[in-house]
Amino acid sequence: MKIAFIGIGQVGSTLAGQLVALDHTVTIAARNPNSNSVKTALAKYPALQVASPQEAIAPSEVIFLATPFAANQTALAEVGNLSGKILIDCTNPVGANLTHGLKSEQSGSELVQSFVPDAKVVKAFTIYGFENFENNTYPGYGNLKPAMLIAGNDTTAKQVVSNLCQQLGWEAIDVGNLSMSLHLEHMTLLWIQMARVQGRGANFVWAMLKR
Ligand SMILES: NC(=O)c1ccc[n+]([C@@H]2O[C@H](COP(=O)([O-])OP(=O)(O)OC[C@H]3O[C@@H](n4cnc5c(N)ncnc54)[C@H](OP(=O)(O)O)[C@@H]3O)[C@@H](O)[C@H]2O)c1
């Protein structure tokens, strides 16, 4: 699959590196091909390709958005037409003192969708720190896989994202429409509190037990 990344920092480079290792064609949509984040990603994952934002996006079926939340609108305006593309929103609106950055009145992903109304936005790869995107192996739990909760309005797009999650070793769990992203964003805040503030560290994820 042809995949592009807008933002290639901690989250973007980690996911791009995992996907290129699975033989996907992964291109960095680089506003500056000589930036530190592009150079660092290429040094770690030499199979990544680099192109201008428009050149990277045009042939790609799936685009990851992994920019600081405050940069989303500018970053999306630079890349051109996303009509019909699947846009995986990895961003989180994080406010002061780990509150919701949009005061819990609207999800960040719905705001992203408003910037690109013709794209199929799916929220995914947000509820844990990037460390778990690099390594999601938790031995000792048999066939139980770590859960990746996703949300979006387009069923076909969510199926594509679920398949990518499964290839990356996650159990994809579709929690509903994009408005459900608000709850995922609060899960993220909980994870950050537990991992980074309370000091548990990054090496834990959620799983779903069913009966
Ligand atoms: N860090 C985590 O553990 C984690 C986990 C899940 C989700 N998230 C979310 O994922 C997003 C990215 O986090 P991160 O930790 O990967 O950030 P990061 O390491 O700071 O990387 C941000 C990337 O976005 C690029 N960028 C910044 N402004 C841009 C703009 N206006 N246009 C295009 N690209 C721009 C940066 O490029 P330059 O280097 O050129 O500035 C860099 O490649 C955030 O929304 C965060 O909330 C983070």
Nearest CA to ligand 1 atom 28: 71
pLDDT confidence bin for 102, thresholds 50/70/90: very high
pLDDT confidence bin for 80, thresholds 50/70/90: confident
pLDDT confidence bin for 186, thresholds 50/70/90: very high
Q: Which residues line ligand 1 (CB under 6 A)?
A: 6-12, 31-32, 35-37, 66-69, 71, 74-75, 90-92, 94, 126, 129-130
CATH class of segment(s) 2-197: alpha beta
* Domain locations in the chain as residue ranges: 2-197
DSSP one-letter string for the chain: -EEEEE--SHHHHHHHHHHHHTT-EEEEE-S-TTSHHHHHHHHH-TT-EEE-HHHHHTT-SEEEE-S-GGGHHHHHHHH---TT-EEEE----B-GGG-BTTTTSS-HHHHHHHHSTTSEEEE-S-SS-THHHH----TTSTT---EEEEEES-HHHHHHHHHHHHHTT-EEEE--SGGGHHHHHHHHHHHHIIIIISS--S---------
* 57 Cα to the center of ligand 1, angstroms: 18
Q: Flag whether the pTM goes above 0.75.
A: yes
- Model pLDDT, residue 152: 98
Task: Report the chain's mean pLDDT, rounded to a whole number.
Answer: 98
pLDDT confidence bin for 163, thresholds 50/70/90: very high
**Residue 62 near residue 160, CB atoms below 8 Å:** yes
Average pLDDT over residues 71-82: 95
